[in-house]
Amino acid sequence: MLAISTLPAIVDHTAALVVLAGPDGALSDGARSADAATRGAVSAAAKAARFEGEAGGIVELLSPAGLACHRLLLVGTGAADTLDALVAEKIGGAIAARLLTSGEVHVNVDVAGTLTGPLAAHLAHGAALRAWRFDQYRTRLKDKQKPTLASLALIGADAEAAAAHVRLAAIADGVARTRALVSEPSNILYPESFVERARDLAALGVELTIMDDAEMKRLGMGALLGVAQGSVRPARILAMRWNGTGREDVKPVVFVGKGVTFDTGGISIKPAAGMEDMKWDMGGAGAVAGAMHALAARKAKAHVVGVVGLVENMPDGNAQRPGDVVTTMNGQTVEVINTDAEGRLVLCDAMWWAQETFDPEIVVDLATLTGAIIISLGHEHAGMFCNDDGLAEQLRSAGAAVGEKLWRMPIGDAYDRLIDSDIADIKNVGPREGGSISAAQFLARFLKPGVKWAHLDIAGTVWASKPGPVWEKGATGFGVRLLDRFVADNFEG
């Protein structure tokens, strides 16, 4: 993770220097000073590059005469009335992307008079998020391909920026946890090793509960265990509880994550092309673990529980068959029409156990549940299905604030009838049409009366085929910042 200094005691003047400019290339105080020191080279370069100060736009000068630094970046902030936290993060991300493999080790960003308070911290946050890479298994990178940027210092930041950074750094660590989990190959990350990687959350004050397959069998979790029965990797349920309220009478908010550490589709096997992507079918569980890290690390004054159901879906001789009927923890029977619709079978038992154990009023589940949601929304929004308008708006607003956008999808009786089974209480798939909706309706059948619930289908957002403003190609960490903001806005004083 990129090291951030908000109030540096000693400034390294040989480090790369970033100065800022607004609309029409209007130079900040720091940029004007750099321009004067270089005898107009900064403004001349901006003019030659037709730089207009657009947010994240960059003009680069190497070895500028008159300055001690070896590299200077003039970076646009856009118009002042549009400069919010997301824009500041975009600016920070652009800086990190430009310098990450440049050979520069340190960068000073002069924010004096331009980015004050939390906005400066959000610039640093965006840089930290964008600088994260997963190079663990790349042993033959050339030197010019290796990240060199190690630290970023905010010059001219105030104490308010420093305070905001502490909170944002905790969130960035949570995002990094999620990205690492989602990026790992499935021979390294499986239900048991996922649990092992969560044990260090205890050092942050998170209370862990771990259930093995014997305990799940005793509780009657036939749906979850049915998915796992074709794998040599035993299933696990992991609950992570953080209570920062100091009280035991506050009902928790519960997050539930789908943790299919690899999904072949089982007997209803997927096509070979692209199957390697199914290592990230545990993206919902990864997001929940990262959110719990963020909340605990910043000492959130809220009571939150994260529950993840962890399985591997494989097609061996003991695997679940299409047409099998399984019994869930709450006694409902499910006809398994398609073994590749396994996530809902994992979630239904995990959701029911979470309600039985923690008695929440609010349950939010996250899952890479359906390809159908990608057909509907592409990769720009995650799908949101919700039985409560107030909860839906809280989640939508939280997502919009952090750039993790949600689009509300319909649910209702007409869709619910699509999953009625001829021989059991319910079948695990409906018709091809409305596939993401019927999947949500399946989960809705496992809610206790009065529980407010939202299902976030994040299949299109946990992995990116190209870099974005604050992520590299690969795992995005989607969901961590959304859940953290949801808690901060609605459950902390």
- Residues carrying an active site annotation: 270, 344
- Pick from 95, 90, 36, 32: nearest CA to 60: 95
Contact in structure between 132 and 180 (CB atoms under 8 Å): no
Compute CA distances 424 → 326, 327, 332, 421, 441, whole Å.
Answer: 9, 10, 8, 5, 16
Q: What is the DSSP letter of 419?
A: G
Q: Is 239 helix (H, G, I), strand (E, B) or coil?
A: strand
Contact in structure between 346 and 311 (CB atoms under 8 Å): yes
Q: Is 483 helix (H, G, I), strand (E, B) or coil?
A: helix
Q: Which ranges of 184-319 does DSSP label H, i.e. alpha helix?
A: 191-198, 213-219, 222-228, 283-297
**Residue 258 φ/ψ, nearest 5 degrees:** -75, 125
Round to whole Å and give the CA distance between 162 and 223: 48
How, if at all, do strands 236-243 and 303-313 pair? antiparallel
Cα dihedral 158, 159, 160, 163 sign: positive
Round to whole Å and give the CA distance between 417 and 413: 6
Contact in structure between 328 and 201 (CB atoms under 8 Å): no
Q: Is 115 helix (H, G, I), strand (E, B) or coil?
A: coil
> What is the distance between the terminal CA atoms of the chain, rounded to a whole angstrom?
30
Cα dihedral 62, 67, 72, 76 sign: negative
* DSSP structure string for 37-72: HTTTHHHHHHHHTT----TT-EEEEES-TTSS-SEE
Round to whole Å and give the CA distance between 115 and 303: 34
**What is the number of other CB atoms lying within 10 angstroms of the CB of residue 10?**
7
**What is the number of other CB atoms lying within 10 angstroms of the CB of residue 273?**
7
Contact in structure between 359 and 249 (CB atoms under 8 Å): no
**Residue 414 φ/ψ, nearest 5 degrees:** -60, -40
Strand partners of residue 334 = 326, 426
